Amino acid sequence: MKVYSNEIVFRGHPDKVCDQISDAILDECLRQDKNSRCGIETVGGKGKIFITGEVSTNAHIDVEKIAKSVLADVGYSTDYLIINNLGVQSVDIALGTNNQVNGAGDNGMMFGYACNDNEQYLPTAMVILQQLSKRYDQLRKTNYNFLPDGKAQITGYYQNNKLVKIKDFTVCYQNREEQRDITDKIIMDICTDICSKYNIEIENFLINPTGKFLIGGFEGDAGLTGRKIVVDSYQSFAPVGGGAFSGKDPTKVDRSAAYKAREIAVEYLKRYKLQFCQVQLSYAIGKCEPLAIYITSDKGDIEVDEKLYQQCSVANIIKDLDLLNKKYLDTAMFGHFQ
């Protein structure tokens, strides 16, 4: 039996708030102009939100309004100073990604993963943490004692790569430090309820192990778009390509090809009745089709049909997954793969 851990950060964690601001701006750019090219980065801390990166678009966007809307929805003050430092995408990159070329927006490799643990085709511990994150977001909206920031971690016992029991369920949640006996119990009850649906027992809880979590958010920490790439992918159950998702339009294969790799992994998992399937796609900037596709599983490597290369061209991915009409803000809240 092995012991293995994974984690999530709540929607109100500063890094996740920055992801959401970047994606909210992206959504508005694409809503007005489907040909928008965006690589938006957000940095936050100590009363300031700094938005930088590159945007080429015909959209007219109010960056400050969008950022403050996200802050308010997450549960933070809107009194932050919003600094707009957005520039224009490099013309050199545009040579390979314009409407005539439709090439990849960057070099890189992306991974997709699926397993037969549940109907979401994701590791059970990952699903549990995603559900906790959603439940916590609802909780802080209805209970004054709970504040937005937080993260959680599962350290579990595994047999044959299946979670059989949770050794330690760690939850760090920002709160007003009033009636901690009551608020801690609420958190533990939510965790227990979620785990019961998967017949998973929790051996031990670690709730705010330092003893106190009152100062959080952008006052206790800084935030940065793309700093939680492991959480955004498969929470350590699969490799991470290295590229962040949020703030990037779908010509950036860091995002679009990762979504496609996940779709392929699920498709092959079902087709070959696998326990798990892992897909790697790799691209060169300006080139339409992937350089390589590698698919492996619990039954070994899987031969790749040459037709899959064409299916994984940037233009086909965007079309097949309808990525110009996707609401990316939603993906930045609780997970890109659910």
Given 37, 227, 262, 326, the catalytic residue? 227
SS3 state of residue 72: helix
Given 146, 169, 213, 245, the catalytic residue? 213
For residue 43, the number of C-alpha atoms closer than 13 Å in the C-beta half-sphere is 7
Q: Which of 211, 191, 212, 210 is nearest to 202 (CA)?
A: 191
Q: Say how far apart CA 99 and CA 36 lie, in whole Å.
A: 11
Concerning whether 252 is annotated as a catalytic residue, the answer is: yes
Concerning whether 41 is annotated as a catalytic residue, the answer is: yes
Please report the sign of the dihedral spanned by the C-alpha atoms of residue 224, residue 127, residue 214, residue 175: positive
Given 41, 137, 149, 249, the catalytic residue? 41
Concerning whether 189 is annotated as a catalytic residue, the answer is: no
User: How large is the angle between the packed helices 124-142 and 180-196, nearest 10 degrees?
Assistant: 140
CA–centroid distance for 123 within its chain: 15
Concerning whether 248 is annotated as a catalytic residue, the answer is: yes
Q: Say how far apart CA 112 and CA 238 lie, in whole Å.
A: 8
Given 59, 94, 222, 284, the catalytic residue? 222
Residue 152 parent element (H or E)? strand 146-159
Given 11, 13, 140, 262, the catalytic residue? 13
Given 10, 11, 16, 68, the catalytic residue? 16
Concerning whether 221 is annotated as a catalytic residue, the answer is: yes
Given 7, 27, 254, 289, the catalytic residue? 254
Concerning whether 254 is annotated as a catalytic residue, the answer is: yes
Given 252, 255, 260, 262, the catalytic residue? 252
Given 228, 255, 260, 326, the catalytic residue? 228
42 neighbors 18 (Cβ within 8 angstroms): yes
Q: Say how far apart CA 306 and CA 282 lie, in whole Å.
A: 15
Concerning whether 287 is annotated as a catalytic residue, the answer is: no
Annotate 288-313 with DSSP letters as a single string: SS-SEEEEEETTEEEPPPTHHHHHTS
Task: Show the tokens assigned to 16.
Answer: 């996740």
What Rg do the C-alpha atoms of the chain give, in angstroms? 21
Provide the β-strand partners of residue 267: none
Concerning whether 273 is annotated as a catalytic residue, the answer is: no
Given 7, 10, 11, 15, the catalytic residue? 15
Concerning whether 219 is annotated as a catalytic residue, the answer is: no
Only one residue has tokens 């937080």, namely 150
Concerning whether 151 is annotated as a catalytic residue, the answer is: yes
Concerning whether 140 is annotated as a catalytic residue, the answer is: no
Given 33, 54, 184, 320, the catalytic residue? 54
Concerning whether 60 is annotated as a catalytic residue, the answer is: no
Cβ count near 78 (within 10 Å): 13
SS3 state of residue 67: helix
> Catalytic residues, which ones?
13, 15-16, 41, 54, 151, 213, 221-222, 227-228, 248, 252, 254
